[in-house]
Chain A
């Protein structure tokens, strides 16, 4: 047993580091530093750089456009991108529907959709949750009724992230009302420009428009856009949920977050010392780092363990729970660090008087981010559901 990178791994690390330094879009960096909201083009700018390099989908099998990296190389890559504060690539195409399509899709579906996911040509959204089906996803009520070579889809989805930009959506729909909850569900790929689709914004606590309601009214979807067999959509859903949880630990991003909190706490003054010298604050940062190390090594064990490469198992629930809790504690500490300047609210409010600033720049998004990140223990299967999974699948209770 050892935890050192091999010389090859170290060379790879340098290659990645150099590539990011030379190719990360400068304009994007500027917007991130200013805490500006990112546009669709911003999200795609880094995606396209990685696509051209062939690094956009490290987790995919090589035959579909993956990199063929070892788990350690993938770990290094995600570590380096987070270290350099690169934006996270959106998961809906690359980590969610892509793997479902290459695992369960027809040759035609693979040939059409996979290259477009890689290039970023299609923006995907996820039509899973419904107003009455959240944690109990299998109780969903959106229906798809066969009509010749089409399904007619009716229903309402919610919490659909960035659907306002989406070209395509993958939807769970009920194709058999008589079957047991999980057995009558199918997995459909739906063109978001289809007649009958309405996307309505949901504004969240920090003032963001990230999520939407999606209404489907007599939407015609060709049967050829169903992935896997009819009524076997739950298999895809379970596969995808487990996939969604990998990387949800967010270790590398949280490490970067810890460094940001430290930088803020070195700048903030407490009496005649930096806030980071305050023993209470310092202890909380230290505890966070200890917990993050525990998370990191738990993730590394699962990456390098006997199941490496076989896809995530129920242990990924542990990574999701602890990872999301750490993300939330980071935003708590940031808000605490900025003191009074957590209160000003900047959305829709022009800055521009540099002589009379409203607190330091790093404080501007502290509270909205804290509010927003409450979602991490709710989405992707709430942490209560993740604990149920561990109880059942790991502990056998």
Chain B
């Protein structure tokens, strides 16, 4: 047993941490979030081309560093510490993960584009009626000559306003909630018939409603087998879930550290409020949640390669624990700060907002507890 990181992994973390310390201080982040496009594209380019960071989790044959899920977790934990809005999860973890699994010409064509920072890929999977069920799809892709025609509505697609490509789940067959008939397509984001409504999100990102209005897509947009895509979708969403838990760990760590710092400065009744035992115990509870989130994220990451059911149970355990921890740490960070915690001025409130959105992303605690139960507690 060995929980130490390799030298390369340490280097990835240190390099990224240093870069983000220089480029992603809170005020700078707020500035580009409030700008017209909501981001600073130079950061993504620098992550790719100066740091080689977007290749950390790809194989050397595509120009990457040869890493995988652990590298994704390292990157996302550091991103969480600065509440970065960079589209690493949809582009590298989700789309990159699908391409690595599928391999072949599609991987050879797209992975280098991701690594170089030329491609930003948004993941259009959620639908208004579907909640967290990945198979609950009304979007359809109908065979048309050598290609398909895509129709439907995708909800809250993070990073879509910036995307060059969309990774889309759609039905090529089967009923609305059936496992059979789910297909995965990687398409150009600007095809005729794609209607996008862009908006900011409460956690400082940008997202879109995407309406596919009879969009003609080529046959080679299909990733994996037609109608047999659900297993692949579940796998990449599990990978994304764990990466998001890593992000949560970074967010929670900062919420906890910020609270410790504030309570030692803030004086009421003549003493720093950190002297009050009721607040000390609360901060100890927060600390324990941060440590457990880190433990569960490592557990989930290490089990991503297990057979599907074991992987799913591990990821669900991880996300259920982290969702609850994120809520606990976020709410208590705000409560302990008092009024100043609910203003836009302090970073702490923005960490809280991101923590709150992470709670539900890729499935709420209830959803994952339910999936965990079904996989591990069969009658």
Contacts and interface: CB of A to CB of B under 8 A. Distances in A.
A272 interface: yes
Prevailing SS type, chain A contact patch: mixed
A202 B268 contact: no
Contacts of A139: 268-270
Given A344-B199, A384-B278, A135 B356 contact: no
B133 to A, nearest CB: 7
B209 A345 contact: no
Interface in B182-234: 195, 197, 199-203, 205, 207, 209, 211
Interface residues of B, number: 50
B356 A204 contact: no
A38 interface: no
B268 A342 contact: no
B366 A203 contact: no
B339 A379 contact: yes
B338 A135 contact: yes
Contacts of B270: 139
Given A341-B156, A367-B356, A205 B349 contact: yes
B268 A135 contact: yes
A345 B201 contact: yes
Given A342-B202, A344-B207, A356-B195, A371 B339 contact: no
Given A271-B177, A280-B369, A345 B360 contact: no
Contacts of A378: 335, 338-339, 341-342
Interface string A44-74: 0000000000000000000000000000000
B109 to A, nearest CB: 31
Interface stretch (A164-172, A299-307, A332-340): A332-340
B197 A353 contact: yes
B366 A280 contact: yes
A238 to B, nearest CB: 17
Contact of A203 (B128, B279, B344, B369): B344
A160 B339 CA distance: 11
A223 to B, nearest CB: 31
B241 interface: no
A359 B199 CA distance: 12
Interface string A22-50: 00000000000000000000000000000
B342 A344 contact: no
Contacts of B349: 205, 371
Contact of B339 (A129, A203, A343, A358): A129
Contacts of A374: 331, 334-335, 341-342
B29 interface: no
A136 B338 contact: no
Contacts of A335: 356, 360
A205 B344 contact: yes
A244 to B, nearest CB: 15
B126 interface: yes
Contact of B199 (A136, A345, A377): A345
Contacts of B195: 356
A139 B269 CA distance: 8
Interface in B135-185: 136, 155-156, 158, 177
Contacts of A211: 339
B37 interface: no
A370 B334 CA distance: 12
B200 A134 contact: no
A345 B200 CA distance: 6
A344 B155 CA distance: 10
Contacts of B353: 205, 367, 371
A134 B269 contact: no
Contacts of B43: none
B101 interface: no
The 4 A-B residue pairs with the shortest CB-CB distance, nearest first, are A136-B268, A340-B156, A280-B366, A343-B201
27 contacts: A129-B339, A132-B267, A135-B269, A136-B268, A139-B268, A139-B269, A203-B343, A204-B343, A205-B342, A269-B131, A271-B177, A272-B177, A280-B369, A339-B132, A340-B131, A341-B155, A342-B357, A342-B360, A344-B156, A349-B199, A356-B211, A357-B209, A371-B353, A375-B339, A378-B335, A378-B342, A384-B278
Interface of A: 129, 132-136, 139, 158-159, 202-205, 207, 211, 268-272, 275, 278, 280-281, 332, 335-336, 339-346, 349, 353, 356-359, 367-368, 370-372, 374-375, 377-379, 382-384, 387
